[in-house]
Amino acid sequence: MANVKLAIVYYSSTGTNYKMAQWAEKAAQDAGAETKLVKAPELAPEEAIASNPLWKEHYEATKDVPEANSDDIEWADAIIFSAPTRFGTLPAQMKNFIDTQGGLWAAGKTINKVVSWMTSAQNPHGGQEATLLSLYTSMMHWGAVIATPGYSDDSIFAGGGNPYGASVSVDQDGNMVEDVEGAVSHQARRTVDVASRIVEGS
């Protein structure tokens, strides 16, 4: 398997997608990938963050995680995105990050990046699939190679059966409802595998 450089770009207000990103990073490293775990810059005002104890706690706990930038995208052979759904689409923080990659896109530097996407919502029908599809639409504009998990492993079914990407429901206390660690890990390994085939063939 070719050496693959994988950027894991996440946004998380209370920690769910950060945990998913960490699972993905470990699985990718175990598969031999070089990784960077970075977060989309926070846009919410301090007072909004402070109004939610879980948000405030997570914000403080992850202050040392590097913020994502265009260099991370250019560096990567593959990218896994992870962020919650907001009204059936990307949160503003992740959308802003993607929107600011126009310079790379214009220079053709997003072409053939292998991408995959994970998400969360308060319930299984809270916009998870719509959120995944909305990111993939943007990735088509990038000229990226989309690597969804499909039904390529039993862990997909165990994690809720979403073929577009790992997705999890989160209860009122911020706990994940489904056991998606296996699905996340498989998705990361699959992303690295697809990317290695492209790197080898380039």
Q: Torsions phi, psi of 116, nearest 5?
A: -150, 160
Entry field: residues in the chain: 202
Q: Which helix (H) or strand (E) holds 61?
A: helix 53-61
Token pair recorded at residue 111:
């072409």
User: pLDDT tens per residue, the chain (202 residues)?
Assistant: 579 999 999 999 999 999 999 999 999 999 999 999 999 999 999 999 999 999 999 999 999 999 999 999 999 999 999 999 999 999 999 999 999 999 999 999 999 999 999 999 998 889 999 999 999 999 999 999 999 999 999 999 999 999 999 999 999 888 999 999 999 999 999 999 999 999 998 6
Instruction: Please tell me the predicted confidence (pLDDT) of residue 1.
Output: 59
- Residues 9, 69 contacting (CB under 8 angstroms): no
Q: Angle at which helices 16-30 and 181-201 pack, to 10 degrees?
A: 50
Q: Domain segments of the chain: what residues?
A: 5-201
For residue 46, give every residue at least 6 positions away whose Cβ sits within 8 Å of its Cβ, in sequence order, or none: none
Instruction: Please tell me the predicted confidence (pLDDT) of residue 202.
Output: 67
pTM score over 0.85: yes
Q: Which CATH class is domain 5-201?
A: alpha beta
On the CB side of 28, how many CA atoms lie within 13 Å of its CA? 30
Q: Distance (Å, rounded) from C-alpha 64 to C-alpha 88?
A: 29
